[in-house]
Chains A and B, each alone.
Chain A
Amino acid sequence: MTTLTEVPETAAARETPARRRRRVDRLPYLLLLPALVIIGVLLLWPLGQVVAMSFYRLNSVRQLRGDREWPWVGLGNYADILSDPFFLTVLRNTVLFAAANVLLTMILGTLVGLLLNRLGRKMATFVASCVMLAWATPALTGTIVWKWIFDDTSGLVTWLFNALPDGLSSSLFGRSDWTGYGWFNSPLLFFAILTLVVVWHSFPFIAVSVLAGLKSVPSELHEAARVDGASPWRVFWKITFPLLRPVFGILIVLSTIWDFKVFTQQFVLAGGTQDRPTFMLAIYSYAEAFSPPPKYGLGAAIAVILTLILLVVTGFYVRMVLRQEDES
């Protein structure tokens, strides 16, 4: 009969053009059907649904099950959120956190990528394997370990600070006994530790991608520049960066998307959804919807706001990927 790919000449000769076209046309759609249904029902429909839900006042599970009616409030939920000064805190937390994390992850990841490119073979393999470990560790357990490292009685960091000479510790931080110090109590310190955890999880991807990019750049270019006496700083900005610009573009966009919706690390580090001063959009939406009393409509509206922000970033990403698919 026919192949999966194209109708070979011999088979084609036996079929009328009309039959042949019909045959070739239908199969790919049949193969796509299950995937389309699943993506449609489990991703696209809920995406529409979250927008719809944001226009209703939904404060009980029985409304969700359909036992009670849904009162329409139009843009009421959005008005509530935007008029609440707390929303500004959340938005500021989210944007500043994402900006700091993207910046730090990109810098550290790029430096490590450049380093891996310069190291000897054995050393590079060793360092890359260690970096992989951080990448592979699930967000959940990675965060639990960092929480243990910052434990207020037997944690490593508490011990380190206790080990500082008392005089130095007092003059720098105003205390010498760190046992029982709540590392997660002040929002600023909480965000610093969360940043440490998130950067630790995400710099390996940047490092490996930058390394892959560097391997594709002809090394003669770098050597020539170095022979001409260019400093490493200049070599990076004049040669490496322009050549890897598309890679950097995609990495920045992906990092931005990921850092805007950090959830697991924050949830585990904060021990749930009670720590309101450190809320960011993702956890704010979740807490409004699922912490009693449930406010599903309000949570949905926050989720829509988060999605809209990410939509803009995604637009950049898709444009970049498509442009590169065209070029290659």
Chain B
Amino acid sequence: MKKVALNAAGLLVALFAAFPVYWMISTSLKPSDEIFSATPQPVPTHPTLAHYREILTGNLIPGVSFFDFFLNSALVAVSTVVLSGLVALLAATAVARFRFRLRTSFLIMLLVVQMIPLEALVIPLFLMIQRLGLYNTLPSLILTYLGFSLPFAVWMLRGFVAAVPKELEEAAAIDGASRAQTFRRILFPLVAPGLVATSIFSFITAWNELIFALTFINDQGSYTLPVAMTFFFGRDDTNWGPVMAASTLFTLPVIIFFLLVQRRMVSGLVAGAVKG
């Protein structure tokens, strides 16, 4: 009896959590008359890819298609990932492998800057982007997201670097490897899985971001996907079929990446609070 009640509660939670995602995908596969019918269909009775075809082949503005926005977003996110991963790896090595005077101060600063409300930085960063002449360019976003993703990336990578046994590096050094060689041949391959996990977080940060992309980009051809979605699909008399198809295409990569790394996220955020 008690078990039944628990399982029922579990199903209810699962339904609440997963339903919007299901409804998004399901709607995207329904023909328009099913979407706008008086009685909602729980599953698409005549599944169709028409909405996907519409957004992928049609142009939202002359010469610019959904795919171009997808590319803009991917370019920004991948550049952010590469730059942030590289810089974070160096910093994480410093923090995990050396004891130096400013180490604790740096760690505290990492924690504190992660708490800066990024929403409060829109105005000063807008000023900086204007001054640098980067307004309306994708690099303005790459630069911004690099700053946003870096603190968490260092914080997370630090754990991965610390987990690599020092003895391996010491052994390599005794065998005559230089510092650069040790870094490249020993540390880097061993930290690579951690680097992948960290990269995924930076990717999601950059991929999902809306406010700054909304503010720094004025030229419609340079819109990232989130801006394009609010601009083209956020209007009245919304045509939900294509909107849900676009939302699905935007969401799927994030969900896949996210599920790959979610464990790290919890341990990173509640650092030290949970002892395993």
| Candidate in B6, B18, B91, B127 with the most chain A CB atoms within 10 angstroms | B127
Q: Which among A84-92, A166-174, A205-213, A220-228 touches the partner chain?
A: A205-213
Q: Is B106 an interface residue (CB 8 A)?
A: yes
Q: Is B194 an interface residue (CB 8 A)?
A: no
Contact of A145 with B272 in the complex, beta carbons under 8 Å: no
Q: Which among B44-52, B53-61, B178-186 touches the partner chain?
A: B178-186
Contact of B272 with A267 in the complex, beta carbons under 8 Å: no
Kindly list chain A residues whose C-beta atoms are within 8 Å of the C-beta of B95.
Answer: 28, 32
Kindly identify which residue among B17, B27, B112, B154 contacts A318, using a CB–CB cutoff of 8 Å.
Answer: B112
Residue of A nearest to B227 (CB): A140
How distant is A56 from chain B, measured CB to nearest CB, in Å?
A: 11
Contact of B179 with A285 in the complex, beta carbons under 8 Å: no
Kindly identify which residue among B23, B229, B233, B267 contacts A149, using a CB–CB cutoff of 8 Å.
Answer: B23
Q: Is B262 an interface residue (CB 8 A)?
A: yes
Kindly identify which residue among B6, B109, B174, B179 contacts A39, using a CB–CB cutoff of 8 Å.
Answer: B109
Residues in A97-152 with C-beta less than 8 Å from chain B: 112, 115-116, 118-120, 123-124, 126-127, 130-142, 144-146, 148-149, 151
Q: Is B93 an interface residue (CB 8 A)?
A: yes
Kindly identify which residue among B7, B17, B124, B270 contacts A131, using a CB–CB cutoff of 8 Å.
Answer: B17
C-alpha gap A140/B109 in the complex (Å): 30
C-alpha gap A31/B170 in the complex (Å): 19
Residue of A nearest to B236 (CB): A271
Kindly identify which residue among A27, A144, A212 contacts B243, using a CB–CB cutoff of 8 Å.
Answer: A144
How distant is A254 from chain B, measured CB to nearest CB, in Å?
A: 7
Contact of B262 with A216 in the complex, beta carbons under 8 Å: no
Kindly list chain B residues whose C-beta atoms are within 8 Å of the C-beta of A314.
Answer: 112, 115
Counted as pairs of residues, one from A and one from B, with CB atoms less than 8 Å apart, the total is 336
Question: Beta-carbon contacts of B249-276 to A below 8 Å, as 1s and 0s?
Answer: 0110011001100100111011111111
Kindly identify which residue among A130, A131, A282 contacts B119, using a CB–CB cutoff of 8 Å.
Answer: A282
Kindly list chain A residues whose C-beta atoms are within 8 Å of the C-beta of B120.
Answer: 47, 50, 285, 303-304, 306-307
Kindly list chain B residues whose C-beta atoms are within 8 Å of the C-beta of A213.
Answer: 273-274
Q: Is B87 an interface residue (CB 8 A)?
A: yes
Kindly list chain A residues whose C-beta atoms are within 8 Å of the C-beta of B271.
Answer: 321, 324-325
How distant is A243 from chain B, measured CB to nearest CB, in Å?
A: 11
Kindly list chain A residues whose C-beta atoms are within 8 Å of the C-beta of B215.
Answer: 290
Question: Beta-carbon contacts of B74-115 to A below 8 Å, as 1s and 0s?
Answer: 000000000000011011011101101011001011011101
Contact of B36 with A134 in the complex, beta carbons under 8 Å: no
Q: Is A187 an interface residue (CB 8 A)?
A: no
Residue of A nearest to B208 (CB): A138
Kindly identify which residue among B17, B90, B130 contacts A200, using a CB–CB cutoff of 8 Å.
Answer: B17
Q: Is B163 an interface residue (CB 8 A)?
A: no
How distant is B35 from chain A, measured CB to nearest CB, in Å?
A: 6
Kindly identify which residue among B16, B18, B207, B270 contacts A250, using a CB–CB cutoff of 8 Å.
Answer: B270
C-alpha gap A272/B243 in the complex (Å): 17
Given contacts A38-B147, A264-B211, A321-B271, contact A115 B10 (CB under 8 A): yes
Question: Beta-carbon contacts of B167-208 to A below 8 Å, as 1s and 0s?
Answer: 001101110001100110001000000000000000010011
Q: Is B70 an interface residue (CB 8 A)?
A: no
Chain B interface secondary structure, helix, strand, loop or mixed?
helix
Kindly identify which residue among B39, B108, B122, B182 contacts A3, using a CB–CB cutoff of 8 Å.
Answer: B182
Q: Is B150 an interface residue (CB 8 A)?
A: yes
Contact of B123 with A296 in the complex, beta carbons under 8 Å: yes
Contact of A3 with B173 in the complex, beta carbons under 8 Å: yes
Kindly list chain B residues whose C-beta atoms are within 8 Å of the C-beta of A209.
Answer: 266, 269-270, 273-274
Residues of B participating in the A interface, judged by any CB pair closer than 8 Å: 3, 6-7, 9-11, 13-18, 20-21, 23-24, 27, 35-40, 87-88, 90-91, 93-95, 97-98, 100, 102-103, 106, 108-109, 111-113, 115-128, 130-131, 143-144, 146-148, 150-151, 154, 166, 169-170, 172-174, 178-179, 182-183, 187, 204, 207-208, 210-211, 215, 226, 229-230, 233-235, 238, 240, 243-244, 247, 250-251, 254-255, 258-259, 262, 265-267, 269-276
Residues of A participating in the B interface, judged by any CB pair closer than 8 Å: 1-6, 8, 10-11, 24-25, 27-29, 31-32, 34-36, 38-39, 41-47, 49-50, 53, 61, 64-66, 112, 115-116, 118-120, 123-124, 126-127, 130-142, 144-146, 148-149, 151, 153-154, 156, 159, 200, 204-205, 208-209, 212-213, 215-216, 246-247, 250-251, 254, 257, 260-261, 263-264, 267-268, 271-272, 282, 285-286, 289-290, 296, 299-300, 303-304, 306-307, 310, 314, 317-318, 320-322, 324-325, 327-328
A-B contact pairs, 18 of them (CB 8 A): A3-B172, A3-B173, A5-B97, A5-B98, A25-B100, A28-B95, A43-B148, A46-B121, A46-B125, A64-B131, A123-B7, A130-B17, A132-B259, A136-B262, A140-B230, A145-B23, A303-B117, A306-B119
